[in-house]
C-alpha cells in the first residue's frame, strides 16, 4: 500500500492507494473514528459490487454501519438528492464527530462531501473513489457541490475529506467508456506541467485502459500526488495555481453545455477535446509549437477519446460555443481566464484573449 499526504496544516489528510483496499477498509478507518459507527453512501451500480465487501471489512473491526443507496448518475447530485441524503443522515443520528463514507464516483463524492459540510454545521467524510476520474481527481482537494437548473456545481463548498482510500482494483468493473473519460484527467497532469509524464502516457495509456495493473497504479499515484501538491499550494484557487487543473475545461464546458450535460459527451470526454482545442488555440496564437498540439490530438485519438469538435459530435458555430463559455463560473470581472500553453507541460492562465477571438478560432476548428 502506498501512502501520500495532502499537506494542509491541521486539515492534512492521507491518501491510501492499494489493490484490495475496499476489502480492508475497516482497519484503515478504525483509528479515525470517535465511536465505532459509520454511515456508507453509495449508488446503485457501485453498491452491487462493493457495498457488501466494504461492510464485511467494517464488521470485522466491530464498526457498526448503515447504508444509503442513491440512483446512479448525475441526477442524484441535485437539491432533491441533497435533501434526501441530509435527512437520512440526521435520521441515522449522525454526530459532528462522525465520519461518513462516500463510496463511488465523482457524483457520490461531490454530493456526500457537500452534505457533510452542512449537516449539523459539518461532520467528517472519507472518500472511497471507484471511478478513474474520482481516483485521480475529484476525491482529492475538497471541492464539493450539487448541480442546479442554472448550471453544474453552482452550489457547493470547500470541505476536505479526512482520508482518501483508493483501490485500483475497483476499476475492473468500470466500463471502457468511463475509464477513457477518467484517463483524460490523467493526461491532463502531464500537459499542465510534466512533459515527462505526458511521454509516459503516450507509451502506457492504452495498456492502462486495457487493465494493466502496474500502469494503473503508477498513473493514479502520480496523478493524485500532483493534485495533492497543487491543492496544498492553492487550496481555494486564489493564486492561478489550482486553476491550472482546469486545462481543457473552459473549451470542454462549452461542448458539455452544447450537448446538454448528457451521455452524448461525458465530462472527461469533453475535457479531452477541450485540451486539444486549448493547445490548437495556443498554437494558432503563436504561443505553442504546432507540433505539440498535433501530439496531444494524436495521443487522445489513439485511445479513442474525442480530439476535435467533429469527433465530439459538435457542429455548432463558434459564437454559440463561446457564449456557453461566457456563463462559466470561472468568469472574473466579466473576463474568462483561459488555461493556455507554451508547449506540452507548460500551461499558464491568461485573460488576454476575448471570447470573440475564441469564437473565430472555433469556427475555423470545425473544418
Ligand atoms: P459517476 O460518479 O457518475 O460515475 C460514473 C458511472 O460509473 C456511474 O454510473 C457509476 O454508478 C458507475 N461506477 C462508479 N464506479 C464504478 C465501478 N467501480 N464499477 C462499475 N460502475 C461504477 O461519474 P464520475 O465520472 O466518477 O464523476 C463525475 C462527477 O465528478 C461530475 O459530477 C463532476 O462534476 C464531478 N467532478 C468533481 C471534481 C471535484 O474536484 N470535486 C472534479 C472532477 C469532476
Ligand atoms: N478538479 C479541479 C479541482 O479540483 O480544482
Burial class (CB in 10 A: 0-12, 13-18, 19+), 204: middle
Task: Name the CATH code of domain 176-363 (choices 3.30.1370.60, 1.20.1090.10, 3.40.50.720, 2.40.50.660).
Answer: 1.20.1090.10
Choosing from 6, 52, 133 the residue with most ligand 1 atoms within 8 A of its CB, the one to mutate for a pocket test is 133
The pTM assigned to this predicted structure is: 0.97
Ligand 1 lined by 292 (C-beta under 6 Å): no
Enter the C-alpha cell of residue 357. Answer: 477571438
Distances (CA, A) of 20 to 25, 166, 269: 9, 9, 28
Ligand 2 environment, Cβ below 6 A: 137, 141, 143, 242, 245
Atom of ligand 1 at shortest range from CA of 107: 2
Atom nearest to 242 CA in ligand 2: 5
Instruction: Provide the β-strand partners of residue 195.
Output: none
Distance from residue 186's CA to the centre of ligand 1 (Å): 15
Please give the Cα distance from 155 to 147 (Å, whole number): 7
Ligand 2 nearest-atom number relative to CA 143: 4
Q: Where are the domains of the chain?
A: 2-173, 176-363
Ligand 1 within 6 A of 110 CB?
Answer: yes
Tally of CB atoms within 10 A around 71: 11
**How far is the centre of ligand 2, averaged over its atoms, from the C-alpha of 63 (Å)?**
32
Separation CA 262–CA 168 (nearest Å): 27
For residue 134, which ligand has an atom nearest its CA? Answer: 1
Per CATH, 2-173 and 176-363 having the same topology is answered no
Per-residue pLDDT 10s for the chain (367 aa) are 999 999 999 999 999 999 999 999 999 999 999 999 999 999 999 999 999 999 999 999 999 999 999 999 999 999 999 999 999 999 999 999 999 999 999 999 999 999 999 999 999 999 999 999 999 999 999 999 999 988 889 999 999 999 999 999 999 999 999 999 999 999 999 999 999 999 999 999 999 999 999 999 999 999 999 999 999 999 999 999 999 999 999 999 999 999 988 899 999 999 999 999 999 999 999 999 999 999 999 999 999 999 999 999 999 999 999 999 887 777 777 678 999 999 999 999 999 999 999 999 999 987 6
CATH of domain 2-173: 3.40.50.1970
Q: Kindly list the catalytic residues.
A: 121, 143, 185, 227, 237, 242, 246, 249, 253, 267
Q: In the chain, count of helices (H) and strands (E)?
A: 14, 11
Amino acid at each position: 500500500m502506498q501512502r501520500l499526504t495532502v499537506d494542509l496544516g491541521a486539515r492534512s489528510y492521507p491518501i491510501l492507494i492499494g489493490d484490495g483496499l475496499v476489502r480492508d477498509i475497516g482497519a484503515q478507518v478504525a483509528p479515525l473514528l470517535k465511536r465505532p459507527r459509520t454511515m456508507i453512501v453509495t449508488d446503485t451500480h457501485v453498491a452491487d459490487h462493493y457495498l457488501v465487501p466494504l461492510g464485511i471489512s467494517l464488521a470485522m473491526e466491530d464498526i457498526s454501519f448503515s447504508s444509503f443507496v442513491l440512483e446512479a448518475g448525475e441526477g442524484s447530485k441535485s437539491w432533491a438528492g441533497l435533501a434526501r441524503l441530509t435527512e437520512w443522515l440526521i435520521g441515522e443520528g449522525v454526530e459532528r464527530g462522525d465520519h461518513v463514507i462516500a463510496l463511488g464516483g465523482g457524483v457520490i463524492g461531490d454530493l456526500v462531501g457537500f452534505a457533510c459540510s452542512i449537516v449539523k454545521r459539518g461532520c467528517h467524510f472519507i472518500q472511497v473513489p471507484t471511478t478513474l476520474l474520482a481516483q485521480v481527481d475529484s476525491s482529492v482537494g475538497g471541492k464539493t457541490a450539487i448541480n442546479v437548473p442554472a448550471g453544474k456545481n453552482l452550489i457547493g463548498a470547500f470541505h476536505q475529506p479526512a482520508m482518501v482510500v483508493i483501490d485500483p482494483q475497483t476499476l475492473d468493473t468500470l466500463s471502457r467508456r468511463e475509464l477513457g473519460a477518467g484517463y483524460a484527467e490523467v493526461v491532463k497532469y502531464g500537459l499542465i506541467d510534466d512533459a515527462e509524464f505526458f511521454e509516459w502516457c503516450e507509451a502506457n495509456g492504452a495498456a492502462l485502459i486495457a487493465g494493466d495493473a502496474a500502469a494503473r497504479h503508477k498513473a493514479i499515484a502520480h496523478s493524485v500526488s500532483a493534485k495533492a501538491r497543487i491543492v496544498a499550494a492553492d487550496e481555494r484557487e486564489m493564486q492561478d495555481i489550482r486553476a491550472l487543473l482546469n486545462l481543457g475545461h473552459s473549451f470542454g464546458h462549452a461542448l458539455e453545455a452544447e450537448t446538454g450535460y448528457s451521455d452524448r459527451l461525458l465530462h472527461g470526454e469533453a475535457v479531452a477535446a477541450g485540451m486539444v482545442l486549448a493547445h490548437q488555440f495556443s498554437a494558432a496564437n503563436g504561443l505553442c509549437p504546432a507540433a505539440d498540439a498535433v501530439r496531444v490530438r494524436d495521443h487522445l485519438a489513439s485511445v479513442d477519446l474525442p480530439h476535435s469538435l467533429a469527433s465530439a459530435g459538435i457542429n455548432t458555430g463558434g459564437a454559440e460555443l463561446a457564449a456557453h463559455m461566457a456563463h462559466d463560473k470561472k468568469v472574473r470581472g466579466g473576463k474568462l481566464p483561459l488555461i493556455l500553453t507554451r508547449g506540452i507541460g507548460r500551461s499558464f492562465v491568461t485573460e488576454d484573449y476575448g471570447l470573440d477571438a475564441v469564437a473565430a478560432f472555433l469556427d475555423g476548428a470545425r473544418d
